[in-house]
Amino acid sequence: MSWNLPPETHVETTLAPGRRADWVSLSKFRLQAVIGVYPHERLHPQPVDIDLTMQLDTRAAAVSLNLAKSVDYAKVARDLRLLLQGARFHLLETAAEAVAALLLAPFPDRARPEAVQVKLCKPSALDGLATPSVAIYRTRGDFEFLPGEHNGETRIFASADVKISLVDTGGERSLAITRLGDREFLTRPTQVFDFPDDFEPSGTGSILTSTDVVTPQV
């Protein structure tokens, strides 16, 4: 499978009939994250490689020079880092599904893709013997984005180990992440969170912000 040129049989688009869709790609993006089911994988981050493509019409951005009509690579990279480092997924399959949902969610400051392809790899998982990976293709219709319990909240994704929402906090969009039903916190666009294992919320249903913050280099 080519990640820059998806199979035409899988493409679903609202573009004019007969016109081939455009794709914006982000390749060979590596970050450190906790993804895995084994004890050593839960204790220490490991490298995760990301390749993705987003299907959207780039003509409006091309003629207007308005990046909001396309996709800002820096913002996408930042969102991926916040999601994957904050959620601490147990399975690559779950992580890939959450990434696809995040990319297809309605963001106010970027064009919304019609479809995405996501590939995640763990190059160090098998000590170099092989590289496990998961690749998925999703369209907007594969997800249901519903209002959440908090004002300005849109539910993006939920699984057995994590719930993820997009929250508009006075014009600043953030990700609200709940891990395992007992760790809930709100990320900011300029922050990356690495919570200690003994982190606990101070109240039921509260959204917390960590004091352990570093600025992502993207």
* 122 is an active site residue: yes
Q: HSE (CB half, 13 Å, CA atoms) of 171?
A: 0
HEC assignment per residue over the chain: CCCCCCCHHHCCCCCCCCCCCEEEEEEEEEEEECCCCCHHHHHCCEEEEEEEEEEECCHHHHHHCCHHHCCCHHHHHHHHHHHHHHHCCCCHHHHHHHHHHHHHCCCCCCCCCCEEEEEEECCCCCCCCCCCEEEEEEEHHHCCCEECCCCCEEEEEECCCEEEEEEEECCEEEEEEEECCCEEEECCCCCEECCCCCCCCCCCCCCECCCCEECCCC
Catalytic residue among 28, 75, 119, 122: 122
Catalytic residues: 122
